[in-house]
Amino acid sequence: MKQFKPWQAPLWAFFSTHFYRDLGSHGKGVGFVYLLCLLAISCGVESIKTGLYFYQKIETVGPYYAEQIPSMEIANGKLSMDQKPIYYVFDPESQQPVIAFDTRVEDGKKSPHELGVPVLVTSKNIIANFGRKEADLPFENEVLNFGSFNGMKMDKQGFMQMLRTCSLGVPFIDFALRLPPAWAWHIFQAFAYSVAGLILARMISINIKYEGILRIASFAVGNAIILGILAKFFPEEVAGVSLTNFGVHLGFLQMLVTFVYTLFGVSANLSAATFVSVEEEQKSQ
């Protein structure tokens, strides 16, 4: 772009025809890096909210679990605890067992599914059930083997500290899992909406390359992302009026915004082409 800088795009892309003329005629690339930057902000906000949610859950529910966790020690690759060989930890809300400790279990002899719990801690490892309790073939896998944790001790205080430490990594893990598929999805959207822009350009004879149309579509998708970012800061209700329905229809609103700005951006280049042809005609006369 000649007249506008990339950092000005989030503002001018909402109302400036001159911006879209410059974008279609003189822009470089196809706008995917711009989408990545916006999505990094959007996903970052969501990941921070997820991290805060986990931390708040740990501070409220964690102490309940910590009171139930037995004091444990790992020696020679085997876990021992100050409770009976079989011991259960219960969920504070449902009062259903969620973790079973059974130091009598040998590898492969029992599973969480058989005991009706998501997680089984044996003398040698931790096994998690990633399926449903009622499923006939739950997916179970070893999460942690105690073979490399000799000399490790765990008590109630250590358990809470471990939970708090793990919660610090939640935003980073969430961000790493959230950003790549979101970027791929919005790139796909840019290609899809660029088809509509290409059809409009051919219908009304706008002299613009497909790369410029794709670039316009990418920035139109960017407008929808910005709208989504702003929506994240909206309260759940205002003056007693719920905004839940707005949240439900936000996706449809973003699709409409992207479509309208793609056509708006492409048609803005018609004006530029018309002005140039008029000027050339006047000069020739």
Q: What is the mean pLDDT of each run of 10 residues along the chain (285 residues)?
A: 67 81 77 92 92 88 84 80 80 82 66 72 78 54 71 81 85 93 94 90 82 90 90 62 57 87 86 48 48
pTM metric for this prediction: 0.72
Q: What pairing do the DSSP bridges indicate for beta strands 72-75 and 241-242?
A: unpaired
Query: What is the C-alpha to C-alpha distance for residues 223 and 231, in angstroms, rounded to an integer?
Result: 12
Per DSSP (E only), the strands in 107-252 are 119-122, 125-129, 140-145, 153-154, 237-238, 241-242
User: What does the pLDDT read at residue 282?
Assistant: 46
148 within 8 A of 75, measured Cβ to Cβ: no
- Cα-only R_g, the chain: 28
Find out whether 212 and 29 touch, Cβ atoms under 8 Å: no
DSSP designation for 70? P
Q: What pLDDT sits at residue 35?
A: 93
Q: How far apart are CA 153 and CA 73, in angstroms?
A: 4
| Contact partners, residue 54, CB within 8 Å, separation at least 6 | 167, 170
